[in-house]
Amino acid sequence: MGNSGRQYGAWYPAHPLGDGPFACRARSAVDCAAVLLAAAACALLSSAEISAVQGEKPVRSKASSSDADGLSVERCFFEMPTFPKSISLEVTRGTRVRELWKRSFHQEGEREEEEEEQPPPQRVRGLGEEAFWVGDPRLGGLYVLRKDAMLRLAVGGAEGMADKLRKLKPLARKALSRL
């Protein structure tokens, strides 16, 4: 199962691509390599791109990563001055991404009890090979499949799904262009 329980992360003073120096503060070269891999998720969006949709620049970004069952997950949390405007980005890669996608979005049959309380995934057109909004407006996220990668973007706040998608779709396009 790889390092499923092991997480790597470090706070950066600002976005690692231009707003501040990027330095690995991990304990070993192996840990440092994992931090750098996780930071790749933070490199998928620039501060200017985030500011264009949120109206303010991130004050910092936090990268983390994990791997399990042939999948690697890279995450970046962009903390905004107005915390509910913060953005979460996650990229899942590996040979089993399509299997995970199919199981998550195309599985026939009964949904688990926990899933039944949530609205079903809603197709979002015009992004990647296929895209869905999953969850309610408060805790939902945009999932996009492209090749052997699955992108997830979410933004906090009290806005409805349509307003969140209006913000997340251009960010998803930028991130997908860099995958």
pLDDT digits (tens, 9 = 90+) for 95-131: 999 999 999 998 765 555 555 677 889 999 999 999 9
pTM as predicted: 0.77
Q: How many CA atoms lie within 13 A of 112 on its CB side?
A: 4
pLDDT of residue 14: 35
Which residues have a Cβ under 8 Å from the Cβ of 90 and sit 6 or more positions away? 41, 73, 74, 75, 76, 151, 152, 153
- Residue segments in the chain with a per-residue pLDDT below the cut of 50: 1-22, 30
pLDDT of residue 114: 54
* DSSP codes, the chain: -TTTT--EEEEESS-TTTTS------SSHHHHHHHHHHHHHHTTS-HHHHHHHHSS--SEEEEEEEEETTEEEEEEEEE-SSGGG-EEEEEEEETTHHHHHHHHHS--SPPPHHHHTSPPPEE--SSSSEEEEES-TTT-EEEEEETTEEEEEEE-SS--HHHHHHHHHHHHHHHHHH-
pLDDT of residue 155: 93
pLDDT of residue 8: 36
pLDDT of residue 62: 93
Tokens representing 119 are 């609205």
pLDDT of residue 45: 95
